[in-house]
Amino acid sequence: MNASVTPKGSLEILSQIEVEKLKKVGENGLYALFRQCALAILNTGSDSDNAKTIMEAYPDFEIEIIQQDRGIRLNLSQAPANAFVDGEMIASSREMLFSSMRDIVYSETERRRNRSDLSSGTGLTDYVFHLLRNAGIFRTGEDPNMIVCWGGHSISDEEYEYTKEVGHSLGLRGLDICTGCGPGAMKGPMKGATIAHAKQRHDRSRFLGLTEPGIITAEAPNPIVNELVILPDIEKRLEAFVRVGHGIIIFPGGAGTAEELLYLLGILLDPDNIELPFPLVLTGPKSAEPYFQQLHEFINDTLGFEAQQKYKIIIDDSEQVARTMAQGMQEVKEYRRRLNDAYYFNWSLKIQEEFQNPFEPTHENMASLALNTGMETHQLAANLRRVFSGIVAGNVKETGIRAIEENGPYRIHSDKSIMKPLDNLLKAFVKQRRMKLPGSEYIPCYQLVE
Amino acid sequence: MNASVTPKGSLEILSQIEVEKLKKVGENGLYALFRQCALAILNTGSDSDNAKTIMEAYPDFEIEIIQQDRGIRLNLSQAPANAFVDGEMIASSREMLFSSMRDIVYSETERRRNRSDLSSGTGLTDYVFHLLRNAGIFRTGEDPNMIVCWGGHSISDEEYEYTKEVGHSLGLRGLDICTGCGPGAMKGPMKGATIAHAKQRHDRSRFLGLTEPGIITAEAPNPIVNELVILPDIEKRLEAFVRVGHGIIIFPGGAGTAEELLYLLGILLDPDNIELPFPLVLTGPKSAEPYFQQLHEFINDTLGFEAQQKYKIIIDDSEQVARTMAQGMQEVKEYRRRLNDAYYFNWSLKIQEEFQNPFEPTHENMASLALNTGMETHQLAANLRRVFSGIVAGNVKETGIRAIEENGPYRIHSDKSIMKPLDNLLKAFVKQRRMKLPGSEYIPCYQLVE
Amino acid sequence: MNASVTPKGSLEILSQIEVEKLKKVGENGLYALFRQCALAILNTGSDSDNAKTIMEAYPDFEIEIIQQDRGIRLNLSQAPANAFVDGEMIASSREMLFSSMRDIVYSETERRRNRSDLSSGTGLTDYVFHLLRNAGIFRTGEDPNMIVCWGGHSISDEEYEYTKEVGHSLGLRGLDICTGCGPGAMKGPMKGATIAHAKQRHDRSRFLGLTEPGIITAEAPNPIVNELVILPDIEKRLEAFVRVGHGIIIFPGGAGTAEELLYLLGILLDPDNIELPFPLVLTGPKSAEPYFQQLHEFINDTLGFEAQQKYKIIIDDSEQVARTMAQGMQEVKEYRRRLNDAYYFNWSLKIQEEFQNPFEPTHENMASLALNTGMETHQLAANLRRVFSGIVAGNVKETGIRAIEENGPYRIHSDKSIMKPLDNLLKAFVKQRRMKLPGSEYIPCYQLVE
Amino acid sequence: MNASVTPKGSLEILSQIEVEKLKKVGENGLYALFRQCALAILNTGSDSDNAKTIMEAYPDFEIEIIQQDRGIRLNLSQAPANAFVDGEMIASSREMLFSSMRDIVYSETERRRNRSDLSSGTGLTDYVFHLLRNAGIFRTGEDPNMIVCWGGHSISDEEYEYTKEVGHSLGLRGLDICTGCGPGAMKGPMKGATIAHAKQRHDRSRFLGLTEPGIITAEAPNPIVNELVILPDIEKRLEAFVRVGHGIIIFPGGAGTAEELLYLLGILLDPDNIELPFPLVLTGPKSAEPYFQQLHEFINDTLGFEAQQKYKIIIDDSEQVARTMAQGMQEVKEYRRRLNDAYYFNWSLKIQEEFQNPFEPTHENMASLALNTGMETHQLAANLRRVFSGIVAGNVKETGIRAIEENGPYRIHSDKSIMKPLDNLLKAFVKQRRMKLPGSEYIPCYQLVE
């Protein structure tokens, strides 16, 4: 498909210098990054989660940026047909194109400006704040109501139906949804909430998608997302989730979901956060009960009893999940009001720098992660998080897949006491087909070594 | 549940005289009618379609109308719980309560005013126009895009999924939906279109429900409906459908759906309407193919080949259905523009008075319907329409059910040439469980007599 | 000027029967009335207040009503140029054309329906309610804030500037303005409030103009009016003022202003209204002090001390006027809330039928008005009101001017005790040039007879 | 007055680091600057234009910045009472407070980021672009319609009325207004346009005020301004005017107005801008005719005939002025469309760096300005512009007034051929009381030296 699109709103105005930077190919240019994100967005609804395959499927896709009388125009050629209806681009896809343009330009500008500050935790948080503010996602007049839904992109039909039900129950209570913006558990709750919001005449629905260039290709934003932010890397994206979301629901998922849970537990276990209310529910249909039992045991075996107290498991009761969240919103509101903390950005949440600093899952970095019972809990959580982050990369991200192709599976070293539960969990993920979208045999991208 | 609700908008302002009339019990009062509609609206999502049973299930339901400083307040007691979330009424149900109040008061006022005029066809059309205008459903600035979806309230899961798909395809093309506002084929398209409109950022979605007091109890408005109009009887409702809708899709259904199809064909066969474009598609999933073949044959056997040319049957292709409608909208627009006819009300459609005058399905009226091949086609269509109208009443309407309980099944007399295909069609409806929501054995409320 | 206009909003949708009625010339047709109102509206900014002259100045003005695809279109020929800018009609004039169309059609329809009821006071009030509701001027969600400003159309520059200041002070407090919608004291407050609302970012400003066919030609709606209602006669218009306004300010004026004051005092003196809060302020610049002193004395001499207690005179202090009104709004709100009376329509105000029934100022009716000190106060107020109503007609209304031309001045009979103060007041009005717009010598249309 | 205010919109969200910077007193802190701008904004309607006096009149004025649950809160103490009505701050003043906060924080951040780029013309333009974009004043969907009105803050009543008339005529044609946001000629057009926009139901009125910290105190923003941008210095402000405005009207004024005219002529005389359409009208009432004749001669004597061709003088005809501008908008639109230049920012206008680089009017800088006939025209225009810029500073700006107090009047050296017309012009300004608001004798802050 070829198309020529302009933004409907007026947020996406670029200066001549910014346009130049965006068009520029090569080392300092942003074109390659923009092209990749645009391709991912237009590829919505695709049934592949292999970023490499997707990129290779549209070698001739090009995107031309034109400054014109009424603003910016994008001319696309050889674009995937998914995002078009009778030759016209779906409005949400068009919006997302311009959102990604906005974020890519701004991230880069800010990154340069903050270069010196990006070494400190405060500087990193400030960076995330600026990116989100520029994306226009802060709403000052509104009470806490943003529920983050995490969970697998590859889930069973029954699980998918359940995520819709939960979304419907949340939506009936006027709650908004934030996800990682791909398919599966990231789409279902938005779909359910869309219907519920229609019933409640809730016409300012927010369906916030937070992603990053590495994952967007494998998990293309579903078109219900009406606010898209592309953070520069996985750690910024995780920080955005926990600072913007007011409560979190975790559906069944695979390595990515485990990464998210470990990240969150690692933070909530921080003594500085001990009094902070943060509603966290793990939930799924009846059939997912064994899954959550296993996860629950894994947490017990690695992070211990205290970590288990940070969440609540609810099986097959979407109304109960929604009521728990709605009530949690009251507690969050009370707490923030008392501390004079903003509703729209969780300033008081302490995030240790080991959770903020980017982790690059090279074979070397993966091999040198320390995983043993003697470590402090939050340090262990941080490293376990990195393990799963690496596995996600090896499964679906372009660079990860290439690295595995070249060097074979990651080698992960650990204590027996950690390795055993980790091995069990990973094997279960594989068996339950949670690692990748179905279609072929899953070949593990990792190897556990004692 | 008890509740006290006020309207969000400002359309529902009553004069003191109107409030009195609405509160008044007995012959000239409107209370009984209002209570019945309110109960139906709150009973949304119920799994019964037996109006009598529903009314009897809430004998203590009361509704108090109060004039207060900021407008009207309704105090409800002993209301069904379906329409509430955590003790608060769902916004759409609240809206519909006030819509029904508005329509009941206005219908009555207009009826009195127009008493003399209601004998002529022009007067009846004017009456329908005034009711719809008062309900605020005319939008002058908009192109034709209102697709009426007819079909059964009792359909299979596969058929229901298909109606959602069609709604999604329509919604992606910016089309709005109008239905009879119950479950099944009346809900699915709205659900699909809601999701599609979200994707297209189409934030002025119209989900128009047209009903009448006799049917509303059996087919409670689904909460996605965001414009509800209660017409005074079935003939006004049918006229509203064909004057407000710009195209019609018919999904599989039972007696009600057959009534609607016959009504429409009877009108379209009128020589005065011969050039009028009126997109009409019959569609369903693969499994519904035999159903449509049978209907197609029935039309052939009764109204003939010419009638068959008025519609197009599309099997299992929601995109094709939507494209057909989208294209039909262009033709409708062209035609109306050429004739200077309004987009929002199909003035040029000729409706013979036999389709406008109310038919009361008493045993006597049913027994005296003429059905024979010698009749003029549109006259035969009119009477066949009445047959099915009576069967709907006998199946699900309160008065109809009572009449059948007292006097046994309706006796329908006809020529053999008509009786045979009619018998086949009705038997098929029974066999395919299209007459009533599943749950019990269907006992026919009619008897065919040669 | 020739022009072709369509409504921007969607309220102005007519049925075919209504269009026919509007186009119809002659006894039962509405064309003449519509043409007259349209001409008045387009003649905005004219410096004549002689309705007869105005009508005669545009003998070839025609207005054609066309039903078309997107609604109604009006084709105007030989229209006054005042309402056009570079050949295009000013938006407010266009709006008002359609408002007048709406009101003329609806008044007629309602009048027919209510024929039997229009003999009772309740019926008349219900009629006024229906006209206002149909014009869409009721807002349910809003607190009392509609300030009626009465006063002359022919006032001095200093007085005009002062009315702007008062409007500005009202507007700064978020108050809206309702007037009789002509020039002078009916325009100034709206102008001042427009600026103040801009400063307060009050973007839902309401500038309500209430008029009637007899007066609209002489006092053309000023274009700031953004809600125009044409009531059928002067008594309906006065009732609309006092039921829709929450407080009233009276600026210097002539016969029309005196009529309004007497009407209001007559009502407020009714024992049934004794506890009803109704903020009423008489105000003007320093130079207007003698004017108000004289009016104050006239009230004393005719209606007495009690009547004087119903209003407050404030000289040259716009801020104080506005503060008084703002505080009065609180009292009105409290009272209505306590009585469960609507904010948008003052149901609890009692209006005797002698104030509701139309008074036609024929020479005979004028001559037979009883005016003597023995009468009950409210009866005297009612008849004094009629005296001034007749004088307004004789001064500026088309029928009144013709009647005077034919039969000479009205003869008004009264007690000496009434005649003396009345004569003084009228002479002062003439001397101060408050009877007519300046330009020629004023020839009284009345004669006082003992 | 003491007050505590929060923003209504949601644009004004600050990070913790930004809040800190804003609260910080001393060298790197922004508090002093913010306090000064806030004081100027609240001092609206003051009748002084002496920045120094104003600052000294409120020594105890303080402003506290608080981060809280729903955003930022400002606590003000000892604030001027002008901006309050019955104890509550006028909405426009509140908005402007937050606008100034936004601009001060952003200017500083951007200044740091761009430090290296601010030496080039392209870098300076980019800086201005970023400031304006951040202030949200670019509207992509709109046609050119922003008319800049320049002229004196100290003008006669007749001139003031005329500026209102011109604003009214512009507003009737849907044109928006941009000014320097003080009183006089900067307020009148906005007032007139407000009324006209109300008549045209133009509800997205834009009244853009562009100012800078040095001038804001002397020329407090009038409250009709609904978009305020504080640029960092006079050169950025002038660039903002000519890149955002689509046409310019110059009313009678003093030194500031002369500065603006010379700036604009200097740019338009640039050969690169020769084909660029830029509607420019000098206008005033009949009484201002001699003023414009003198200015016209001054242009002739200094910049020559060619410069005179860049503008059109229209005397006492507001309709003609507005029609000229409306037609000019078409030409601008055509030109930009043809060049693919943005409507919202005039990228193609070439501005030489001598017009972009800040000029600090120290006594030394003023004394060393070259002014002689041998210079290139645009260079001469640039230096003449600087002369007037210095005189404005010496008249009303805080630093300027202090400098004059300390060092006596500026000494301005020039050729006789320049000095003569310059002297005439300045003397006329003094005589016509255009230098300062009336009240005291004007003591020149300059001395012309051959």
**CA separation for the pair D111, D127 (Å, rounded):** 8
**Shared-domain flag, residues B445 and B359:** yes
Report the gap between the CA of A86 and the closest CA in chain B (Å): 8
pLDDT < 50 positions in chain A: none
Confidence grade of residue B340 (pLDDT, cut at 50, 70, 90)? confident
Q: Using pLDDT thresholds of 50, 70 and 90, give the confidence band for residue D360.
A: very high
Q: Do A15 and D133 touch (CB under 8 A)?
A: yes
- CB distance A222 to A183 below 8 Å: yes
User: C6 vs A193, B204, C65, CA distance in Å?
Assistant: 40, 22, 10
Average pLDDT rounded to a whole number, residues B14-37: 89
Written as six digits, the tokens of C445 are: 């249309």
At D294, the pLDDT band (50, 70, 90 cuts) reads very high
- pLDDT at position D115 is 61
Asked whether residue B235 is domain-assigned, the answer is: yes
pLDDT at residue A214, as a whole number = 85
Ramachandran region of residue B143, left (φ > 0), alpha (ψ -120 to 50) or beta? beta
Could you tell me if residue C105 is inside a domain? no
d(CA C26, CA C21): 10
Does any CB of chain C come closer than 8 Å to the CB of residue D226? yes
D125: nearest Cα among D136, D135, D114, D139? D114
**With contact defined as beta carbons under 8 Å apart, do B150 and B260 qualify?**
yes
User: Does B119 fall in a domain?
Assistant: no
What ranges in B340-376 are assigned the alpha helix state H? 353-356, 363-367
Residue C126 lies in a domain: no
Read off the pLDDT band of D111 (50, 70, 90). confident
- Do chains B and A meet with 3 or more Cβ pairs nearer than 8 Å? yes
Q: Alpha-carbon distance A354 to A322, whole Å?
A: 32
Least confident of B249-253, B305-309, D115-119: D115-119
H-helix or E-strand containing B172?
Answer: helix B157-172
- CA distance linking residue D156 with residue A84, whole number of Å: 62
Residue D204 contacts C, CB cutoff 8 Å = no
- Decide if A109 touches D, using CB distance below 8 A: yes
Measured in whole angstroms, the distance separating CA C68 from the mean position of its chain's CA atoms is 34
In this prediction, residue A437 carries a pLDDT of: 72
Q: Determine the structural domain holding residue B190 and report its residue range.
A: 139-450
Mean of pLDDT over chain C: 91
Structural domain includes residue B341? yes
The answer to whether C148 and C247 are in contact (CB under 8 A) is: yes
Does D10 score more than 70 pLDDT? Answer: no
* Averaged pLDDT, C40-60: 81
Nearest-CA distance A68 → chain D (Å): 4
Pair C398, C217: CB distance under 8 Å = yes
Q: Is the pLDDT of residue C48 over 80?
A: no
Query: Which amino acid appears at position B145 of this protein?
Result: N
Distances (CA, A) of D442 to C195, D411, D434: 33, 17, 10
Residues with Cβ within 8 Å of D283's Cβ and at least 6 positions away in sequence, in order, are: D162, D166, D249, D250, D251, D292, D313, D314, D315, D317, D318, D321
Which chain B residue is nearest to residue A198, measuring alpha carbons?
B224
Write the DSSP symbol of residue A221: P
Q: Which residue of B has its CA nearest to A173?
A: B85
Query: Are the beta carbons of B177 and B145 closer than 8 angstroms?
Result: no
User: Cα separations (Å) of D350 from A91, B364, D243, D356, D385?
Assistant: 37, 90, 10, 11, 17
- Looking at residue A137, its pLDDT comes to 93
d(CA A71, CA A64): 14
Where residue D315 falls among pLDDT bands split at 50, 70, 90? very high
Look at residues A113, A129, A160 and tell me which one is the last residue of a structural domain. A113
**Buried b or exposed e, range D9-34, using 16+ CB within 10 angstroms:** ebbbbbbebbbebbbeeeeeebbebb
Q: Where are the alpha helices (DSSP H) in C173-288?
A: 188-199, 213-216, 234-244, 255-268
Name chain A contacts of D140, Cβ cutoff 8 Å: 7, 9-10, 13, 70-71
**DSSP H or E stretch at residue B401:** helix B398-407
Beta strands C280-284 and C312-315 are parallel
- Quick one: pLDDT band at residue C432, thresholds 50, 70, 90? confident
| Residue A192 with chain B: CB contacts under 8 Å | none
Decide if D138 and A69 are in contact by the 8 Å CB cutoff. no
Residues of B in contact with C346 (CB under 8 A): none
Q: C23 or C67, which is more confident?
A: C23
Handedness of CA D333, D334, D337, D338 (dihedral sign): negative
Give domain status of residue C20, yes or no: yes
Question: Positive or negative CA dihedral for D51, D53, D55, D61?
Answer: negative
Specify the 3-state DSSP secondary structure of B207: strand
Question: Which whole-number Å values give the CA distances from B375 to A291, B370, C247, C359, in the listed order?
Answer: 69, 9, 69, 62
Counting one residue from chain A and one from chain D, the pairs whose CB atoms sit within 8 A come to: 83
User: pLDDT at position B116, please?
Assistant: 61
D148 strand-pairing partners? D178, D248
Sign of the torsion formed by the C-alpha atoms of B45, B48, B49 and B50: negative
* Per-residue model confidence (pLDDT) at position D133: 93
pLDDT, one tens digit per residue, over B122-174 is 989 999 999 999 999 998 878 999 999 999 988 999 999 999 999 999 999 99
> Containing H/E element for C334?
helix C318-339
Inter-residue contact D202 to D171 (CB < 8 Å): yes
- The total number of structural domains that make up chain B: 2
User: Residue D194, CB half-sphere, CA atoms under 13 Å: how many?
Assistant: 29
A65 and A123 co-located in one domain: no
| Chains D and C, touching by 3 or more CB pairs within 8 angstroms | yes
| CB half-sphere exposure, C408, CA atoms < 13 A | 5
Question: Given B17, B113, B129, which is nearest C126 (Cβ)?
Answer: B17
**Do the Cβ atoms of C173 and D85 come within 8 Å?**
yes
Whether residues B92 and A201 touch (CB distance < 8 A) is answered with yes
**A86 with B205: Cβ contact below 8 A:** no
List the single residue in A86, A207, A224 with the smallest CB-CB distance to B173: A86
pLDDT at C361: 93
Smallest CA-to-CA distance from D181 within D126, D247, D256, D118 is with D256
Of D172 and A9, the structure prediction assigns the larger pLDDT to: D172
Neighboring chain C residues of D207 at a CB cutoff of 8 Å: 198
Instruction: Give the CA distances from residue A202 to residues A64, A173, A322, A390, in Å, rounded to whole numbers and listed in that order.
Output: 37, 10, 16, 39
CA-nearest of A158, A138, A435 to A284 is A158
Residues 72-101 of B with CB under 8 A from A: 85-86, 90-92, 95
Q: Which of D96, D113, D130 is the endpoint of a domain?
A: D113
- Same domain assignment for residues B348 and B311: yes
Tell me the three state secondary structure of residue D321: helix
Residue B182 shares a structural domain with residue B292: yes
Say yes or no: C157 and C225 in one domain. Answer: yes
Residues 6 or more apart whose Cβ sits within 8 Å of residue A163: A149, A151, A155, A184, A185, A187, A188, A189, A192, A251
C168 and C38 both lie in a single domain? no
Instruction: Tally C-beta pairs within 8 A across B and C.
Output: 83
* Contact of chains B and C by CB distance (3 or more pairs under 8 angstroms): yes
Interface test with B, best of A170, A200, A225 (most B CBs within 10 A): A200
The pLDDT confidence band at residue B267, using thresholds 50, 70 and 90, is very high
Question: Residue holding tokens 């009973």?
Answer: B43
Task: Sheet containing D3-5: give its strands across.
Answer: D3-5, D71-77, D62-68
Selecting from B13, B133, B333 the residue whose C-beta is nearest the C-beta of C138 gives B13
Structural domain includes residue C108: no
Position C171 in a domain: yes
Tell me: pLDDT of B331 over 70. yes
If asked whether residues A234 and A94 sit together in one domain, one would say no
Of B16, B68, B140, the CB nearest to C70: B140
What six digits make up the tokens of C295?
């009016």
Q: Which residue has the tokens 């990464």?
A: A259
Average pLDDT, integer, range C187-196: 97
Which one of B42, B82, B85 would you mutate to disrupt binding with A, by most A Cβ within 10 Å of its Cβ? B85
**Same domain for A123 and A91:** no
Helix (H) or strand (E) holding B76: strand B71-77
Distance of CA C407 to the CA centre of its chain: 27
Q: What letter represents residue D92's amino acid?
A: S
Q: Which of D409, D401, D342, D418 is nearest to D48 (CA)?
A: D401
Mark which residues 124-153 of C lie under 8 Å from B by CB. 126, 129-130, 133, 138-141
CB-based contact, B224 to chain A, within 8 Å:
yes
Q: Is C9 a residue whose pLDDT tops 70?
A: no
Interface touch C340/B112, C-beta < 8 Å: no
DSSP 8-state assignment for residue B343: S
Domain at A10, CATH number: 3.30.1850.10
What residue has token string 């929060």?
D6
Can you give the CATH number for the domain in which B185 is found?
A: 3.40.50.450
Is the Cβ pair C340, B10 closer than 8 Å?
no
Number of helices and strands in chain C (H, E): 18, 14
What is the average pLDDT across D437-441?
Answer: 73
The verdict on A162 and A291 lying in the same domain is: yes
Question: Euclidean distance between the first and final Cα of chain C, in Å?
Answer: 51
Chain A contact partners (≥3 CB pairs within 8 A): B, D
Write out chain D residues lying below 8 Å of A344, CB-based. Answer: 13, 71
Same domain? D217 vs D94? no
- Structure confidence at residue D114 as a pLDDT band (50, 70, 90): low
- Write out chain B residues lying below 8 Å of A85, CB-based: 172-173
Counting one residue from chain A and one from chain B, the pairs whose CB atoms sit within 8 A come to 63
- The helix/strand/coil state of D179 is strand
Say if CB B281 and CB B324 are below 8 A apart: yes
What does pTM read for this prediction?
0.92
D172 in contact with C at a CB cutoff of 8 Å? yes
Which of A93, A113, A133 is the last residue in one of the domains?
Answer: A113
Q: Do the interacting molecules here have an ipTM over 0.90?
A: yes
State whether B172 and B235 are in the same domain: yes
Closest of C5, C11, C50 to residue C400, by C-alpha = C50
Tell me the pLDDT of chain B averaged across its residues: 91
Inform me whether the pLDDT recorded for C262 exceeds 90: yes
Task: Give me the percent of chain C exceeding a pLDDT of 70.
Answer: 98
Q: Are D332 and D144 in contact (CB under 8 A)?
A: yes
Do B144 and B31 have their domain in common? no
Helix axes C234-244, C255-268, angle to 10 degrees: 60
- Token representation of residue D196: 């006209």
pLDDT of residue D189: 98
CA distance D445 to chain C (A): 36
CA angle D38, D41, D45 (to 5 degrees): 150
